[in-house]
Amino acid sequence: MNITWYCKEFNQLSADTLYAILRARGDVFIVELNCPWLDLDNRDQKCVHLIGMKDNHTVAAYARLIPPGVLDPSCQVPVISRVLTTTQFRRKGLGRQMMVFAMKECNRRWPRQSIIVNAKPYLEAFYNSLGFTQTSEPYEDEDGFILIDMIQTP
């Protein structure tokens, strides 16, 4: 499988790429997970977008890297969010590839900082295998998802 990885700031995204990202996020988070929520949270413009593309137009995998202080002024570490692999590309190892790439990019941009992910509890073992440890009990976020907080420390 030939996936090309891009890591871009918001102002570097073409209109077509941004549309493909938003379509993938809507397909996974709103339609597939049946969670009607407002995905556009006014943070994308300040984030770094990691995109795995097939044939330069189909999003296979995606993650949003939120810089320290953008999610919440009290959160002074980067956060990896909106992590997804689209349906037709699952079970091919792209999630692990993407997370390794995302962690390297966070370390490059924000050296010697911990990294946070908010994960679905069933993904705890996956994130443990990448060096993250659980730091919270399961909770329901503002969008109705049950999550756990996890951190990877340098």
- Composition of the chain by helix, strand, coil, percent to 5: 35, 30, 35
| Spatial separation of the C-alpha atoms in residues 140 and 144, rounded to whole Å | 6
The β-bridge partners of 115 are: 152
Element holding 99 (H helix, E strand) = helix 94-109
| Spatial separation of the C-alpha atoms in residues 38 and 51, rounded to whole Å | 21
The reported pLDDT for the residue numbered 2 is: 86
Element holding 20 (H helix, E strand) = helix 15-25
The reported pLDDT for the residue numbered 81 is: 92
Is the distance from CB of 24 to CB of 76 less than 8 angstroms? no
Q: Locate 126 and state its tokens.
A: 């996956």
The reported pLDDT for the residue numbered 61 is: 96
User: What is the full per-residue pLDDT of the chain (154 aa) written as tens digits?
Assistant: 689 999 999 999 999 999 999 999 888 887 887 777 777 788 999 999 999 999 868 999 999 999 999 988 999 999 999 999 998 999 998 999 999 999 999 999 999 999 999 999 999 999 999 999 999 999 988 777 789 999 999 8
CATH number (domain holding residue 113): 3.40.630.30
Question: 139 lies in which domain range?
Answer: 3-152
| Spatial separation of the C-alpha atoms in residues 77 and 61, rounded to whole Å | 23
Chain centroid offset of residue 3 CA: 17
Domain count, the chain: 1
The reported pLDDT for the residue numbered 60 is: 95
Q: Locate 26 and state its tokens.
A: 């809507």
